[in-house]
Amino acid sequence: MEKFQEVAMETAKTYGGPVLLALLMLFVGWIIAGWIGSITQKALQRAKIDETLAKFLTKLSRWGVLLLVVLACLSVFGVETTSFAALIGSAGIAVGLAFQGTLSNFAAGIMLLMFRPFRVSDVVNIAGHTGSIYEISLFTTALDTFDNRRIIIPNGQIFGSTIENITFHPHRRADVAVGVSYDADIDKTREVLMQAAKSVPGGLQDPEPAIWLSDLGDSSVNWSVRVWAKSEDFGDVKQATTRAVKNSLDEAGIDIPYPHMEVRLTKADSQA
C-alpha cells in the first residue's frame, strides 16, 4: 500500500503540472475557438456570404483553432507534434485521393457560392438540363424542370461547363420567324408585321418592337418579328406574338407558303 502511494505521489508530481496546464489550455482554447467562430460568422453575415458557405467557414475556423490547441497540449507532454502533423498530412492526402470526385464537387460548390452565376429561383440551362434553381449546396445543385421534375446535379459538372442564366436580365426578346409569299409587297408586309408586334399584350414599347427582313428563301421571303418582354412574361408574350403575326397576315391577305408535294404520272405509269 505504501509503495502504491509513493508511485501515485511521484506520478502526481511528474504529470500533475502538465495535466493542469493541458486542461487550462483546452478550456481557454475552447473559449477562443467559440469567440473566433462568432467573429467569423458575423463578418460573413455582414459580407452577405451565402448562408451555407458561412456556416461551413465558421465551423472550419472553430475546429481549426481547437486542432491547434490539441497539438499544443500534446507538446506539453513531450509528444513530437511534427511527426503527428506529418501523419495528419499523409492521411489527408490519402483521403483526398479517395474522394477526388467528391472534393472536386465541393470545390465547385464553393466557387458557385462565391461567384454566384445564378441564384435560387433563377431559370437556367446547366449540364444539359433547363429549369428553376431550387437549392445550391456545397456538393450538388437541385433544380425543378418545367414539367415538375427535381434534378440533382453534381457541382463539378456545372462549374466546368457552360452556364446559361435565362432570367438573369429583367427583359428578354421574343423572336418569331415567319415566311411570306414572294407575291406580297415588302413594304406592306413590314407595316402589317409592325402593327402586329405593337399589338401584342405584355409586349414592351421600350425597347420598341423590330421587324427584320431575314433572307430570301427557296419558297418564301423570310422575316423575324422581335418583341421585348419582361423575363417573367416571356413565354406568354412569344405565344401572343405568334398569334398576332398569323392573324394580321391573314387579315391583310398575305399568304404564308407551306411545302407542297406534286405527284406526276407519266403515260407509262398510267398504262402499268
For 26-35, the pLDDT digits (tens) are: 888 888 888 8
Least Cα distance to 139 among 126, 124, 127, 156 occurs for 156
Looking at residue 86, its pLDDT comes to 63
Give the separation between CA 255 and CA 38, rounded to whole angstroms.
71
CA 237, 240, 245, 246 torsion: positive or negative? positive
Phi-psi region of 116 (alpha: psi -120 to 50; beta: other; left: phi over 0): left
Beta carbons within 10 angstroms of residue 272's beta carbon: 7
DSSP string, 106-153: HHHHHHHHHH-SS-TT-EEEETTEEEEEEEE-SSEEEEE-TTS-EEEE
Peptide bond into 18 cis (omega under 30): no
Cross-sheet strand order for the sheet of 171-180: 171-180, 221-230, 210-216
Placement of cell 435565362 in the chain: 166
Q: Which domains does the chain have, with CATH numbers?
A: 10-98 (1.10.287.1260), 114-165 (2.30.30.60), 171-251 (3.30.70.100)
Looking at residue 2, its pLDDT comes to 54
- CA–chain centroid gap for 133, Å, is 7
- Model confidence pLDDT, tens digit, residues 113-137: 888 899 999 999 999 999 999 998 8
Quote the DSSP letter at residue 161: S
Mean pLDDT of 233-253: 96
Residue 98 banded pLDDT, cuts 50, 70, 90: very low
Judge whether residue 271 has pLDDT over 50. Answer: yes
Judge whether residue 268 has pLDDT over 70. Answer: no
Placement of cell 475552447 in the chain: 30
User: 19 or 39, which is more confident?
Assistant: 39
Binning the chain into helix, strand and coil, the percentages to the nearest 5 are: 55, 20, 25
Least confident of 39-43, 176-180, 208-212: 39-43
Cross-sheet strand order for the sheet of 129-136: 150-154, 140-144, 129-136, 123-126, 163-165
pTM for this predicted structure: 0.60
Q: How far apart are the first and last CA of the chain?
A: 126
3 state DSSP class of 113: helix
